[in-house]
């Protein structure tokens, strides 16, 4: 039974029993305590905590999940994987233990012909929490499971939580006996390879607090209602029904593994103890990581150096490096990712429709990693050569921060050479860098990172009445004032403060749009609004500089948005939508936005694309954008359900979480239709004009365009016109002849440079011949040691080649910043190697023929030291 069919039967079973089928949430978690959704119940957490009222009392889903805590174990065992799918049925204050147990039993034991999974009831075991007599009784008395197949286990095994404060409760796990060929008898406690867990029924009735581990946390109270949260591992059930050994061999994973084996010439599982053989481990890593990367990019995650993007980057690079260790040095992802797409598309058709964007991000990251490997590996090898015991944290941090060499790869390569890395020290340096960056960013915003005081204001005074769409002016009351994060009763002249109003017309920074600027005016005070933020949902804060008088708590103020600022912001945000639509019109739907920022008169937009845009393509995009302005497309704002927005093709930023009712902004109808909360013009012509100012790479598979709008676009084009006029005057040519005239000047410059290089080569050749003729004889080896201001590598090779090939020769060229040693074939035949000689007098790297390193501490005397070293080492 294919995995997609396992999924279909599960949803059909529960839909027939009154459950609402809920689509999988995106992998990037809305929960701030998580990077990714790591369990099927995560999207339902607010319902279980009583924070939100669920729109249904019963639900079923097949949720995409990613767990990376055990990423280093992936492939080493057949039970660990990063991406998996969790079938789940949920009850929010409706049914509880008995119904949950009945529903599960009916599905897994019903015959295939009746829509079930057809498992042998005599091979199913159940575990319960050691104190849960009710669940044990239900399995024994209602289902009829023999007492010897009901196992009681402790909190670590049978009391479930997300690993963070939140809903929790006792659970009952289902296991299937796969037979004696998989292990010894005795139930799950004897062998969990033979007795495979496939479903966990969680009786969610408590809230847990902070703690570590699976059992070291307090229960802080009961939930508002008793809930059911079950999780059936889709891949595990597929393995059982497909008769394969593990999750790497099901139909959604095995084809990737097989393609990797084919490319590398390996045979998976050909050896005894295959779980531990390095080749089989690496093939499993490839299969798991390629599929995980496909799903993460499909949900909008892009490779980066922080957060979710770093996890994706690490997964992609581990897959690529595993292929290299298996002997495949060519680009691997173009061979593997399409296979992953074909295996997953039956369950997730959007992967096929959006594959061009997904592939662009993945292939670009592999290209970048291959370049990183070339540059960073040489530096790491040099550092490891000089390491005894543990690589210093400062070296690992420099490799990461300067060259993009990931710490996990540094650790892996060092371990292969029997060396450690000071990882705690590296983490400390990374944390310090993050603290500085966070402090700098926070200082530019509210100056206050702790949201606790803001939450107290929200609880006491209620949410801010936000009127940015309706007006530029409000009469408001000051509800709170903070200075340096501390609540105060007033802010005097000249001070910076964060002010909370009961109602505001100011747009708070969000969705890529910068916040509004303007003023707060009281009867005897004025404050300039510098920044507007939403530190918590429902509350708007204003960072102000008091420029006259004193702003006091409880004062009535007039909040006034600068109308010119707002106009420029509206032009820029609508311009962002227009540029996005123009890019998709010219390049195709794969050129999908992955981030944006706009402020009055300026916009930048990041989008998925590999390779730079030619001047002709840039001009075409710019023209398409301005044609839309000339046509004066209407800009319409509509509110609708999220499902309806998706149905009509509204574009959303990947990875974002949206409410059920969303705001859709259309420019020219379907030409540009996006989910957006920003401020916009009423018609496209009000943008004025759009001028693209730059286009560049901002990461693997991502490009960035920058543009100016409105009056700023006019000023930009005026400056360009003036610049052309000045250049035309300086070169003495009409404007329309500038390209040809400048091309002729450049060609003349190249001719002069070529002549200079020719003369320099002649001089170097003459110098080389002179030095070669004066070579010293050191134990039968021609030795030249010389100081030079020229290129030491070129000179050393020239001198070496000027000495007869049959005569052993060593040449050392000492420049102000480096030492180069060149050795000919005859000298290598006498046991001399350039890299060995270099390490004998200093440090550096290279091969047997040429090596290079920094100037040794002995300085110019190193040339004499080398002569002695040659004499001692020559065979």
State the Cα–Cα distance between residues 506 and 534, nearest whole angstrom: 11
Among candidate residues 792, 804, 802, 806, the one with its CA nearest the CA of residue 850: 792
Question: SS3 for 574-608, per residue?
Answer: HHHHHHHHHHHHHHCCCCCEEEEEEECCEEEEEEE
Q: Where are the beta strands (DSSP E) in 130-278?
A: 150-153, 159-161, 166-177, 195-208, 219-233
State the Cα–Cα distance between residues 234 and 40, nearest whole angstrom: 11
Per DSSP, 831 falls in state T
State the Cα–Cα distance between residues 706 and 596, nearest whole angstrom: 10
Q: Give the Cα-Cα-Cα angle 450, 455, 457 (nearest 5 degrees).
A: 115
Burial of 662 (C-beta count, 10 Å sphere; 0-12/13-18/19+): buried
Contacts of 522 (CB under 8 A, 6+ apart): 549, 551, 552, 555, 556, 557, 558
**Do strands 556-561 and 518-522 pair parallel, antiparallel, or not at all (unpaired)?**
antiparallel
Residue 277 known to bind ligand: no
CA 152 to chain centre: 41
State the Cα–Cα distance between residues 388 and 523, nearest whole angstrom: 72
State the Cα–Cα distance between residues 467 and 505, nearest whole angstrom: 5
Residue 448 known to bind ligand: no
| 109 token code pair | 């034991």
Beta-bridge partners for 675 = 664
Beta-bridge partners for 818 = 854
Asked if 542 contacts 532 with a C-beta cutoff of 8 angstroms, the reply is yes
Burial of 23 (C-beta count, 10 Å sphere; 0-12/13-18/19+): exposed
Spell out the long-range contacts of 580-584 with Cβ–Cβ below 8 A and sequence spacing 24 or more: 580/605, 580/607, 580/651, 580/672, 580/674, 581/624, 581/625, 581/628, 581/667, 581/668, 581/671, 581/672, 582/621, 582/622, 582/624, 582/625, 582/628, 583/607, 583/621, 583/705
Residue 542 known to bind ligand: no
**R_g of the chain computed on alpha carbons:** 34
**Do strands 525-536 and 539-548 pair parallel, antiparallel, or not at all (unpaired)?**
antiparallel
SS3 assignment, position 677: coil
Asked if 854 contacts 843 with a C-beta cutoff of 8 angstroms, the reply is yes
State the Cα–Cα distance between residues 384 and 538, nearest whole angstrom: 53
Residue 13 known to bind ligand: no
Among candidate residues 66, 139, 506, the one with its CA nearest the CA of residue 315: 66
**Do strands 83-92 and 219-233 pair parallel, antiparallel, or not at all (unpaired)?**
antiparallel
Q: Helices 333-344 and 355-385, interaxial angle, to 10°?
A: 140
Among candidate residues 61, 60, 56, the one with its CA nearest the CA of residue 94: 56
Among candidate residues 417, 408, 413, 361, the one with its CA nearest the CA of residue 389: 417
Among candidate residues 831, 773, 769, 822, the one with its CA nearest the CA of residue 794: 822
H/E segment holding residue 13: helix 3-15
State the Cα–Cα distance between residues 555 and 58, nearest whole angstrom: 49
Sign of CA dihedral 276, 277, 278, 279: negative
State the Cα–Cα distance between residues 248 and 271, nearest whole angstrom: 17
Contacts of 782 (CB under 8 A, 6+ apart): 772, 775, 776, 803, 807, 808, 809, 810
Binding site residue list for Zn(2+): 573, 577, 676, 680
Binding-site positions read 573, 577, 676, 680
């Amino acid at each position: 039974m294919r995995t997609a069919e396992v999924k279909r039967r599960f949803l059909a079973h529960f839909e027939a029993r009154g459950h609402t089928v809920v689509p999988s949430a995106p992998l990037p978690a809305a929960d701030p305590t998580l990077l990714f959704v790591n369990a099927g119940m995560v999207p339902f957490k607010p319902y279980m905590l009583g924070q939100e009222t669920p729109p249904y009392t019963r639900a079923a889903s097949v949720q995409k999940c990613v767990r990376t805590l055990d990423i280093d174990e992936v492939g080493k065992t057949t039970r660990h994987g990063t991406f998996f799918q969790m079938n789940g049925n949920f009850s929010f204050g409706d049914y509880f233990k008995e119904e949950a147990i009945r529903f599960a039993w009916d599905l897994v034991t019903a015959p295939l012909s009746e829509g079930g999974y057809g498992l042998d009831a005599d091979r199913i075991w159940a575990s319960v929490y050691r104190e849960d007599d009710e669940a044990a009784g239900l399995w024994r008395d209602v289902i009829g499971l023999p007492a010897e197949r009901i196992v009681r286990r402790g909190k670590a095994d049978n009391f479930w939580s997300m690993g963070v404060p939140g809903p929790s409760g006792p659970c009952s796990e289902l296991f299937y006996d796969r037979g004696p060929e998989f292990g010894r008898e005795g139930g799950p406690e004897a062998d969990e390879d033979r007795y495979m867990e496939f479903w966990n029924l969680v009786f969610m009735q408590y809230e847990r607090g902070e703690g570590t581990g699976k059992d070291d946390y307090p229960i802080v109270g009961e939930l508002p209602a008793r809930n059911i949260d079950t999780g059936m591992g889709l891949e595990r059930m597929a393995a059982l029904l497909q008769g394969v050994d593990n999750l790497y061999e099901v139909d959604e994973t095995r084809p990737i593994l097989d393609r990797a084996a084919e490319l590398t010439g390996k045979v998976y599982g050909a050896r005894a103890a295959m779980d531990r053989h390095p080749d089989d481990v690496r093939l499993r890593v490839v299969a798991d990581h390629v599929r995980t990367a496909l799903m993460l990019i499909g949900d909008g995650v892009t490779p980066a150096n922080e957060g979710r993007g770093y996890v994706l980057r690490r997964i992609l690079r581990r897959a690529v490096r595993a292929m290299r260790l298996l002997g495949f040095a060519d680009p691997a992802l173009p061979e593997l990712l399409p296979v992953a797409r074909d295996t997953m598309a039956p369950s997730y058709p959007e992967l096929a429709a959006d594959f061009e964007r997904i592939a662009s991000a993945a292939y670009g990251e592999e290209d970048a990693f291959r370049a990183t490997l070339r540059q960073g590996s040489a530096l790491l090898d040099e550092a490891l050569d000089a390491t005894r015991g543990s690589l210093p944290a400062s070296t690992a941090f420099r490799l990461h921060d300067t060259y993009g060499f990931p710490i996990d790869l540094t650790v892996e390569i060092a371990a292969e050479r029997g060396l450690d890395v000071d990882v705690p020290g590296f983490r400390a340096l990374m944390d310090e860098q993050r603290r500085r960056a966070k402090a700098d960013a926070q200082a530019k915003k509210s100056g206050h990172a702790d949201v606790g005081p803001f939450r107290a204001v929200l609880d006491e005074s209620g949410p801010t009445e936000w009127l940015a769409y309706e007006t530029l002016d409000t009469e408001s009351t000051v509800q709170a004032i903070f200075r340096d994060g501390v609540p105060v009763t007033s802010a005097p002249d000249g001070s910076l403060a964060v002010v909370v109003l009961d109602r505001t017309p100011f747009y708070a920074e969000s969705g890529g749009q910068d916040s509004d600027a303007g003023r707060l005016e009281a009867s005897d005070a004025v404050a300039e609004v510098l920044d507007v933020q939403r530190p918590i949902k429902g509350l708007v804060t204003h960072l102000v500089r008091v420029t006259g008088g004193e702003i006091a708590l409880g004062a009535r103020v007039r909040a006034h948005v600068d109308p010119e600022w707002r106009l420029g912001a509206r032009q820029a945000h609508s311009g962002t939508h227009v540029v996005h639509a123009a890019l998709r019109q010219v390049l195709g739907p794969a050129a999908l936005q992955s981030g944006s920022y706009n402020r009055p008169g300026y916009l930048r937009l990041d989008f998925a694309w590999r390779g730079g845009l030619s001047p002709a393509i840039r001009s075409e995009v710019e023209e398409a954008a301005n044609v839309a302005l000339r046509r004066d497309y209407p800009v319409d704002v509509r509110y609708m359900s999220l499902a309806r927005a998706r149905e009509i093709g509204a574009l959303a930023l990947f990875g974002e979480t949206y409410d059920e009712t969303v705001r859709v902004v259309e420019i020219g109808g379907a030409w540009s239709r996006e989910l957006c909360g920003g401020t916009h013009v009423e018609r496209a012509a009000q943008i004025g004009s759009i001028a693209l100012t730059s286009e560049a790479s901002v990461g693997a598979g991502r490009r960035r365009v920058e543009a100016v709008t409105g009056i700023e676009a006019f000023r930009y084009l005026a400056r360009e016109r003036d610049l052309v006029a000045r250049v035309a005057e300086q070169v003495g040519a009409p404007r329309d002849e500038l390209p040809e005239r400048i091309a002729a000047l450049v060609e003349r410059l190249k001719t002069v440079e070529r002549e200079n290089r020719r003369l320099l080569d002649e001089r170097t050749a003459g110098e080389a011949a002179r030095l070669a003729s004066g070579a010293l004889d050191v134990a039968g080896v021609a030795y030249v040691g010389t100081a030079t201001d020229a290129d030491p590598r070129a000179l050393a090779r020239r001198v070496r080649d000027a000495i007869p090939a049959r005569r052993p020769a060593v040449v050392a060229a000492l420049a102000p910043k480096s030492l180069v040693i060149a050795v000919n074939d005859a000298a290598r035949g006498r046991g001399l190697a350039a890299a060995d000689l270099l390490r004998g007098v200093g440090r550096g790297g290279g091969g047997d023929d040429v090596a290079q390193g920094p100037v040794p501490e002995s300085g110019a005397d190193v040339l004499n030291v080398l002569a002695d070293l040659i004499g001692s080492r020559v065979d």
